[in-house]
Amino acid sequence: NGVKYNNHRNFNQQWHAGGIEITSTGASAQIIGNEIGNNNGSGIWFDSVTGSGNVITNNYIHDNGPQEAGIFFEASHHGLIANNVLVNNNRRGIYISGSDDVKIYNNTVYGQQGLSGIEVLARNGVNSTNTIVKNNIIANGTSSRDLYLSTGTGNASDYNDVYRSAGGILMWNGVTKTL
C-alpha cells in the first residue's frame, strides 16, 4: 500500500495534509503497513480523532514536509505509534500535540530535519498527557532537538537511543517522571 506524492499543487501544507489525514471526533482509525512518502505536508495526520484504538504501526514514512511532521497526532486520544520507520521528514518526525494517552514505542527516526525527532507538546494551552516515549531510535538528525517532551501529567520517556554523528545530543524533558 502506498500514499505518495500528494499535495503536489502546493495547497496549504498545514491545512491540506500531504499523505493521510484522519479527522473525526469519536471515531478511531488504524494505519498499518504503508509507504507514505514525498508528500507536501504531513505524512500521517490524526486531527481530533478521539475514539479508542488509534493505531499507526509498521509504516515506512519518508521525505514528507515541510509542515508539520512525518506523523502528526493532534488533539487526539488513545494512540499507539509503534514500529514505524521515519526517514528524512521535515520539521518533526513524530509530533504529539495536545493529545492524551499516546504510546510511542520502537520507532526509528532517521535524518530528521527542522525542529524535533520526537516532540510532545501542548496545543492551544492544552497539555499532552499520559504520553510514553519508549525504546525509540533517533539518529543522524539535523533538527533543533532530538527528543522534546513538555510538561504534562503522566508523560514519561525512557530507553530511547539517540545518536548524532556531529555535535551534541539535544534533548529537553520538562517532566520529572521516568519509567
pLDDT of residue 176: 40
Geometric angle at alpha carbon 32, from 97 and 179, rounded to 5°? 50
pLDDT of residue 130: 95
Please report, in tens digits, the pLDDT of each residue of the chain (179 residues total).
Answer: 555 555 455 555 565 567 888 998 888 999 999 999 888 889 999 999 999 999 999 999 999 988 889 999 999 999 999 999 999 999 999 999 999 999 999 999 999 999 999 999 988 778 899 999 999 999 998 888 899 988 788 999 999 999 988 777 777 665 444 44
pLDDT of residue 168: 73
- 157 to each of 12, 22, 85, 134, how far by Cα in Å? 33, 26, 19, 6
pLDDT of residue 71: 97
The three-state (H, E, C) secondary structure of 108-143, written as one string: EEECCEEEEEEEEECECCECCEEEEEECCEEECCCC
Q: What is the pTM of this model?
A: 0.89
pLDDT of residue 12: 56
Give every CB contact of residue 168 below 8 A, 6+ residues apart in sequence. Answer: none
